[in-house]
A and B are shown apart, each in its own frame.
Chain A
Amino acid sequence: MTIRIADLLLILPVLVLTGTAVLAMSAIAVGRNYRVTAFITAAGLLIAALSAVTLMPKTNQQVTPLLIVDPYTLFFTAVICLSAMFIAVLSYPYLEGLDDDREEYFLLLGVATVGAVVLVSSNHFVSALLGLETLSMSLYGMVAYTVHSQKPDKYPLEASVKYLVLSAAASGFLLFGMALVYGQTGTLAFASLTDMSESSLGSGFSVVGLLLIIAGLAFKLSLVPFHMWTPDVYEGAPLPAATYLATIGKAAVFVVLLRFVEISEALSLTGILAVLSFLAVLSILAGNLLALLQQNVKRLLAYSSIAHMGYLLIAVVASFYTEGRVGIEAISFYLVAYIIMSLGAFGVTSMVSRSDCERDTIDDYRGLFWRQPLLAAMFTAMMLSLAGIPLTVGFIGKFYLFFAGVEAALWPLLASLIVGSGIGLYYYLRIIYRMLEPADSSDQSTMSPQLSSGSYGVVLCLSLLLLGLGIYPAPVIDLIEAISTYV
């Protein structure tokens, strides 16, 4: 199959992102300039997002067997590119004081985004694997980025190696699963599984294959019991890298998982639903319970992200039982909500941190409310949104999940959602309470760093989105309802 010019237009966002990476690399080769590199990357990400938005209304086409470009792809492309741009802006002040080469970080960020965009466009095992590896490879570099610094605050090398080893093992699972499925069907497209009849001799093979694929993806999504790496990697990584891992790294993989189970009708195979339900309940309970014990904000957010991925899985299970697309809508909306609130929460944390001094224990936030009222109010809003309290987008997301669950009559899963959210309240409120406590007068210096206006703008923008979509979500709900028909 040859590629025509018209096809190239359709994958414009990927091309723009690749071009951005090349341009940034050339700029570094000509002369190191932190500001210029950051600007090129941010601008490229913005252009890619805009191009995805302009393509969205009228595009629905397969480009080569590997990539599907439909409004759903383009919607998530835009979301991912915008989030990556926000992360680039948040990274800028964080890495500014790094005593090492700083420019390549943005290169890695751009390449990782290419991987993420390929991931959300894939309906084929090859592109899914390529996207996943591009994303992961860049993330190894981002997680380890501060390793040569003389005064790294964290343990980037430990985090990176841990992530590398376990992630490679997960890719192995994924590949082996794909091979088993390929052995049955002879093609690598997601749709291939639908041709298999349940009664054929090899259906056991394909169930094993599917389970291996699910295990591989569950690792990337850090679902319990594949979650062990998450808190350590989040804690050890520089904050912007952890942010990337927690938001885009999760959302892109979830989109591909969703597309895979929808296209391949994998959920109808024996046992798969039971496995997914089991993973969901385990992730919700273990994630929330372990988060209770944390004193470190990054670890706490890591465990809470495990729980949130569990919530999302409920909607995946629900999508099998519901007649309409409500499960897919719920997932899509919740992913957007999750990106907004996690970006915001990590954003506030990275605003008050620098590469040589991260403020990531809960005690660091003591009295923030009285020193930086606006910043603390925004952080509070993010926490309440993660807890699913009304007025925030997190509540609408949770409402969507509940709705999907009710429609599918998944009472045990809904019960675990309620229990999990109840436990979750405790640790989110603990952070809020710590911010409300009176500040120690002795440590005036600790929590009044120079806040960069760019980061402030990003977090403010996210807070407004969070409240805006929490109060009037109708436009986004309508959009998601429209694009969900393409999955």
Chain B
Amino acid sequence: MILVALIAVLFVGGLACWLSERFNPSLPRVIALLTVLLDFALMFSLLDAEGTSTWVAVFEAPWISRFGISFYLAADGLSVLLLMLTAFLGAVAIGAAWDEVQERSGFFYFNLLWTLAGVVGVFTALDLFLFFFFWEVMLIPMYLIIAIWGHENKNYAAMKFFIFTQVTGMMMLVSILVLAYFHYLQLGSLSFNYHDLLNVSLTGEMGMWVMLGFFISFSTKLPSMPFHSWLPDAHSQAPTAGSVILAGVLLKTGAYGLIRFAVPLFPEASMAFAPVAMTLAAVSILYCAKVAFAQDDIKRLIAYTSVSHMGFVTLGIYAWNEQALQGAVMTMLAHGLSAAALFMLAGGLQHRIHTRNMPDMGGFWPKVPKMTAVAIFFSVAALGMPGLGNFIGEFLALIGAFQANVTLTIVAAFGLILASVYSLWVLQKVFQGEYNNRGFDDSHLTDLSRREMFYFAAMMIGLVWMGLYPQIFLSMSEPVLAQLLSESAQTMVTSLEGGL
């Protein structure tokens, strides 16, 4: 029931934001913040409930009985970690939008909260129809956020984002249907239930195609090469809060889908496909790091680094051993915070000087010392400095991947070097050197406000915590990942025996 409440609170809060704009234009942001904080508070009750079994707070109700579809929500340690990330970054995004979004604020927060509701649904749905339902529900509000409050080329970016995700989403829908239909053929009833579908054995060419339906959809959202081209456009055009949600949360739904669905449902096909997926990951890491270095637009640069970092997640997932998966999960969490913070910084700069073009900037350090300090912290976090969360994630992912594929891991590890190159390069371009004011009005170039410092501080604490004492996060996801590993190993063994 608590899971239903988590989603319902966001939906209702969104409506309340929209309606409250009539009375006072500054009311929606307060309501939105309170809604997200309430949701965050509710999530803590999930932490207490843990311990008895892997699944906590299960809720199931019949929905469309014709197809064996039920409204089935459940959460385990992995979901809870991601849910908390969602609520935390939701609050951060509202903070980022606090002053930036003045026009039609009610409708903005409505969309923001509905996006979050969709994401919460994705992280908790265990009926594949319901999962797909939420998967698509989060698209429309995100589309509207980019299309209404975005920057100069927003129509193109929003459209590209929507079409990429929707078309690949339909491929996943077909895959889900094939899976459900095979459940009907093999076990005699239609079902979209995750636990039921785990029993379906799809082998050979069919299994590979169906797995690819999931993989393409998830790796578009992640994104990974070669489906990443929507992301730089969407990020550079989205308002800051949109970027925060997009980088921090929406991308993670793709990784979550791979861990929860794509690999466990098709262990054999995934293992056969793993070398390809890991190669794509390594290429993503290196290629997008290189492309990031070539950008002038600061938000595009950060977007490409996101793709590069997400490569470590794919690498970890397809190595499919415990360390690698732990690494993938840690990277998801840490990158969620660091990318969100970097986008907030870029958005903050744009809000102040109305440009994202780096060649125009330079020598901001004396003007905005606090901002510089924050930027250094998060750049260093993103490049994988030991002691911060990203290092733990990428290090574990690489250790795990090393056991699965030595060559690709060595190649991918060069990504860490490239990460330092582009991160430090940004710092040098924007904050160091001579102060330089070419063609923009610097009268609003003020240092971070107290409210902004508060948000950045919260994210810093999170990253330091992850870096110095990651055990608390690892122990939450550990039983889940262990179970996924043992289940897929079992399936592999039985199918091998069947083959003999």
Chain A residues near B (Cβ < 8 Å):
370, 384, 389-391, 395, 399, 402-403, 406-407, 414, 417-418, 421-422, 425-426, 429-430, 432-433, 436, 472-474, 477-478, 481
Q: Enumerate 12 A-B pairs (CB-CB under 8 Å) in ascending A order.
A: A389-B140, A390-B137, A418-B167, A425-B163, A426-B163, A429-B143, A429-B159, A436-B144, A472-B63, A473-B64, A474-B62, A477-B66
Are the CB atoms of A389 and B139 closer together than 8 Å?
yes
Q: Which residues of B (139-178) have their CB < 8 Å from a CB of A?
A: 139-140, 143-144, 147-148, 155, 158-159, 162-163, 166-167, 170-171, 173-174, 177-178
Are the CB atoms of B166 and A425 closer together than 8 Å?
yes
Q: Per-residue 0/1 for B29-72: is the Cβ within 8 Å of any A Cβ (1 yes, 0 no)?
A: 00000000000000000000000000000000011111100000
What chain B residues lie within 8 Å of A402 (beta carbons)?
170, 173-174, 177
**List of 5 A-B pairs having minimum Cβ-Cβ separation, nearest first:** A422-B167, A406-B177, A390-B136, A418-B170, A477-B66
Assembly CA distance A417 to B158 (angstroms): 23
What chain A residues lie within 8 Å of B143 (beta carbons)?
429
What chain B residues lie within 8 Å of A429 (beta carbons)?
143, 158-159, 162
What chain B residues lie within 8 Å of A422 (beta carbons)?
163, 166-167, 170
Are the CB atoms of B137 and A391 closer together than 8 Å?
yes
Confirm or deny: B181 has a beta carbon within 8 angstroms of a beta carbon on chain A.
yes
Confirm or deny: B402 has a beta carbon within 8 angstroms of a beta carbon on chain A.
no
Most chain B CB atoms below 10 A, which of A390, A395, A429? A390
Assembly CA distance A478 to B67 (angstroms): 10
Contact of A403 with B140 at beta-carbon distance under 8 Å, contacts A433-B155, A474-B63, A481-B66 already known: no
Most chain A CB atoms below 10 A, which of B66, B143, B159? B66
Assembly CA distance A199 to B312 (angstroms): 64
Confirm or deny: B227 has a beta carbon within 8 angstroms of a beta carbon on chain A.
no
Are the CB atoms of B66 and A389 closer together than 8 Å?
no
Assembly CA distance A481 to B166 (angstroms): 29
Of the residues B136, B159, B167, contact of A395 by C-beta under 8 Å? B136
Assembly CA distance A76 to B64 (angstroms): 22
How far is the CB of A2 from the nearest CB of chain B, in Å?
Answer: 42
Assembly CA distance A421 to B163 (angstroms): 10
Assembly CA distance A391 to B121 (angstroms): 13
Confirm or deny: B133 has a beta carbon within 8 angstroms of a beta carbon on chain A.
yes
What chain B residues lie within 8 Å of A425 (beta carbons)?
162-163, 166-167
What chain B residues lie within 8 Å of A473 (beta carbons)?
64
Are the CB atoms of A403 and B177 closer together than 8 Å?
yes
Main secondary structure of the interface of A (DSSP, over half): helix
Most chain B CB atoms below 10 A, which of A407, A426, A430, A481? A407
Of the residues A370, A384, A399, A433, contact of B140 by C-beta under 8 Å? A384
Are the CB atoms of B171 and A418 closer together than 8 Å?
yes
Assembly CA distance A433 to B143 (angstroms): 10
Contact of A390 with B64 at beta-carbon distance under 8 Å, contacts A384-B140, A407-B181, A418-B174 already known: no
Are the CB atoms of B159 and A433 closer together than 8 Å?
yes
What chain B residues lie within 8 Å of A472 (beta carbons)?
63
What chain B residues lie within 8 Å of A474 (beta carbons)?
62-66
What chain B residues lie within 8 Å of A426 (beta carbons)?
159, 163
| CB-CB nearest in chain A for B103 | A438
What chain B residues lie within 8 Å of A414 (beta carbons)?
174
What chain A residues lie within 8 Å of B178 (beta carbons)?
406
What chain A residues lie within 8 Å of B148 (beta carbons)?
436
Assembly CA distance A430 to B132 (angstroms): 24
Assembly CA distance A395 to B166 (angstroms): 12
What chain A residues lie within 8 Å of B170 (beta carbons)?
402, 417-418, 421-422
Given contacts A389-B166, A426-B163, A472-B63, 13 further A-B contacts (CB under 8 A): A391-B133, A395-B136, A402-B173, A421-B166, A422-B163, A425-B162, A425-B166, A425-B167, A429-B143, A432-B147, A436-B147, A474-B64, A474-B65
How far is the CB of A441 from the nearest CB of chain B, in Å?
Answer: 15
How far is the CB of B294 from the nearest CB of chain A, in Å?
Answer: 29
What chain A residues lie within 8 Å of B158 (beta carbons)?
429, 433
| CB-CB nearest in chain B for A395 | B136
Assembly CA distance A457 to B338 (angstroms): 49
Are the CB atoms of B181 and A389 closer together than 8 Å?
no
What chain A residues lie within 8 Å of B140 (beta carbons)?
384, 389
Assembly CA distance A280 to B293 (angstroms): 47
What chain B residues lie within 8 Å of A417 (beta carbons)?
170
Assembly CA distance A97 to B144 (angstroms): 37
| CB-CB nearest in chain A for B173 | A402
What chain B residues lie within 8 Å of A390 (beta carbons)?
132-133, 136-137
Q: Which residues of B (59-110) have their CB < 8 Å from a CB of A?
A: 62-67, 104
Of the residues A370, A421, A433, A477, contact of B147 by C-beta under 8 Å? A433
What chain A residues lie within 8 Å of B181 (beta carbons)?
403, 406-407
What chain A residues lie within 8 Å of B174 (beta carbons)?
402, 406, 414, 418
How far is the CB of A307 from the nearest CB of chain B, in Å?
Answer: 15
Are the CB atoms of B64 and A477 closer together than 8 Å?
yes
What chain A residues lie within 8 Å of B136 (beta carbons)?
389-390, 395
Assembly CA distance A429 to B143 (angstroms): 10
Assembly CA distance A309 to B24 (angstroms): 47
Assembly CA distance A343 to B18 (angstroms): 27
Of the residues B66, B139, B144, B167, contact of A478 by C-beta under 8 Å? B66
| CB-CB nearest in chain B for A474 | B64
What chain A residues lie within 8 Å of B139 (beta carbons)?
389
Assembly CA distance A430 to B148 (angstroms): 13
Assembly CA distance A448 to B462 (angstroms): 51
| CB-CB nearest in chain A for B69 | A474
Most chain A CB atoms below 10 A, which of B148, B173, B178? B173
Assembly CA distance A477 to B63 (angstroms): 11
What chain B residues lie within 8 Å of A406 (beta carbons)?
174, 177-178, 181
| CB-CB nearest in chain A for B67 | A403
Assembly CA distance A6 to B320 (angstroms): 71
Q: Per-residue 0/1 for B318-331: is the Cβ within 8 Å of any A Cβ (1 yes, 0 no)?
A: 00000000000000
How far is the CB of B214 from the nearest CB of chain A, in Å?
Answer: 15
What chain A residues lie within 8 Å of B133 (beta carbons)?
390-391
Contact of A399 with B166 at beta-carbon distance under 8 Å, contacts A390-B133, A474-B63 already known: no
Are the CB atoms of A421 and B64 closer together than 8 Å?
no
Assembly CA distance A112 to B97 (angstroms): 55
What chain A residues lie within 8 Å of B173 (beta carbons)?
399, 402
Assembly CA distance A384 to B143 (angstroms): 12
Q: Which residues of B (331-379) have their CB < 8 Å from a CB of A?
A: none
How far is the CB of B395 from the nearest CB of chain A, in Å?
Answer: 39
How far is the CB of A327 from the nearest CB of chain B, in Å?
Answer: 14
How far is the CB of B114 from the nearest CB of chain A, in Å?
Answer: 10
How far is the CB of B243 from the nearest CB of chain A, in Å?
Answer: 19
How far is the CB of A262 from the nearest CB of chain B, in Å?
Answer: 20
What chain A residues lie within 8 Å of B137 (beta carbons)?
390-391
| CB-CB nearest in chain A for B104 | A370
| CB-CB nearest in chain B for A481 | B66
How far is the CB of B374 from the nearest CB of chain A, in Å?
Answer: 34
| CB-CB nearest in chain A for B132 | A390
Assembly CA distance A338 to B129 (angstroms): 22
Assembly CA distance A422 to B168 (angstroms): 9
Q: Which residues of B (116-132) have their CB < 8 Å from a CB of A?
A: 129, 132
Assembly CA distance A390 to B135 (angstroms): 9
Assembly CA distance A414 to B174 (angstroms): 8
What chain B residues lie within 8 Å of A430 (beta carbons)?
159
| CB-CB nearest in chain B for A478 | B66
What chain A residues lie within 8 Å of B155 (beta carbons)?
433
How far is the CB of A419 from the nearest CB of chain B, in Å?
Answer: 8
What chain B residues lie within 8 Å of A421 (beta carbons)?
166-167, 170
| CB-CB nearest in chain B for A430 | B159
How far is the CB of B416 from the nearest CB of chain A, in Å?
Answer: 37
Assembly CA distance A41 to B174 (angstroms): 44
Assembly CA distance A418 to B132 (angstroms): 15
| CB-CB nearest in chain B for A472 | B63
How far is the CB of B171 from the nearest CB of chain A, in Å?
Answer: 6
Assembly CA distance A473 to B67 (angstroms): 11
| CB-CB nearest in chain A for B182 | A406
How far is the CB of B250 from the nearest CB of chain A, in Å?
Answer: 16
Most chain A CB atoms below 10 A, which of B62, B148, B170, B178? B170
